[in-house]
Amino acid sequence: MSEVSTVRPAAAPEAAKSAKAPASEPERRLRYRRILLKLSGEALLGDRPYGVDPAFCAFVARQVAEVHALGVQVGIVVGGGNIFRGLAAAAKGMDRATGDYIGMLATVMNALALQDALERADVQTRVMSAIGMNEVAEPYIRRRAVRHLEKGRVVLLAAGTGNPYFTTDTAAALRAVEIGAEVILKATKVDGVYDADPLTHPNAKRYERLGYADLLRDRLRVLDATAVSLCMENDLPIVVFDLNKPDNITRVALGESVGTLISSAPDGGARR
């Protein structure tokens, strides 16, 4: 008797086996899926007069880890004012370009401190520097930075633009445009943009929304004019928020009203 052959069903394609699971509710509600977080160097001081406070770095890392866990791609630009401020040094007689280069190196030190805190929070991180220093950071290459983000890594973009005479605010705007970020999150010590300094003017009013032109016209010192102009040309919104309140980064990513939204809103600014 001839042997009966058994026909087995073909194995399911690998792509079908790894079909993407349905998005969770927070993922479906995300307003921004790629963000650029701008931190000042002074934010890393914590309660210290100089340098980096590891406890505050850990606090920031926890917030970034929370929003990253929702599927948000995160780039970070950090300043260096807690270690060295080139403009202040230039005012005391130092060559401006030299002072700016020293400040750029300070941002790399801050980025490495944040990288350590993020990796302690189980977030894969890459530091990319606009000034070559291969032993501690990757060189900044736009396509490689985007690939890291797509792979689920947080990217710390250090050394400003790599050029003197540009602030880290301008570097943040430039990098945000380059990597295709949907918003810049400008972290501050207050909960938005005010028409006067709220620390010295108790009756200062906070703006809920602002247009780019309003920011430039009224000379509201949130970001420098070059950074604002770059955002305006590329229609890149900016959210100014209080970093000291937990969950604010996540709330912005989910589209909640936090701080002040700066965009191409035609109605100018709405105060609250």
pLDDT tens-digit map of 67-84:
999 999 999 999 998 998
Q: How far apart are CA 67 and CA 236, in angstroms?
A: 20
What's the farthest any 2 CA atoms get from each other in the chain?
A: 102
For residue 261, name the pLDDT band (cuts at 50, 70, 90): very high
All domains of the chain in start order, with CATH? 27-271 (3.40.1160.10)
pLDDT of 88 reads: 82
Q: Mean pLDDT over residues 23-42, rounded? A: 83
Per DSSP, the three-state class of 162 is: coil
pLDDT of 92 reads: 84
Is residue 60's pLDDT more than 90?
A: yes
For residue 15, name the pLDDT band (cuts at 50, 70, 90): very low
pLDDT tens-digit map of 85-137:
877 887 888 899 999 999 999 999 999 999 999 999 999 999 999 999 999 99
pLDDT of 250 reads: 95
For residue 10, name the pLDDT band (cuts at 50, 70, 90): very low
Report the percentage of the chain scoring pLDDT > 90. 66
Q: Which amino acid is located at 16 in the chain?
A: A
Let me know: does 75 contact 157? Beta carbons within 8 Å: yes
239: closest CA among 266, 219, 258, 217? Answer: 258
Copy the structure tokens of residue 96. Answer: 């401006």
pLDDT of 144 reads: 98
pLDDT of 2 reads: 47
pLDDT tens-digit map of 162-179:
999 999 999 999 999 999
Nearest-Å Rg of the Cα atoms of the chain is 22
For residue 153, name the pLDDT band (cuts at 50, 70, 90): very high
Average per-residue pLDDT for the chain: 87
Copy the structure tokens of residue 170. Answer: 């301008």
Is residue 29's pLDDT more than 80?
A: yes
How would DSSP label each residue in 169-220? HHHHHHHHHHHT-SEEEEEESSSSEESS-TTT-TTPPEEEEEEHHHHHHTT-
pTM of the model: 0.86
**27-to-24, 33, 101, 203, 247 alpha-carbon distances in Å:** 5, 9, 40, 39, 16
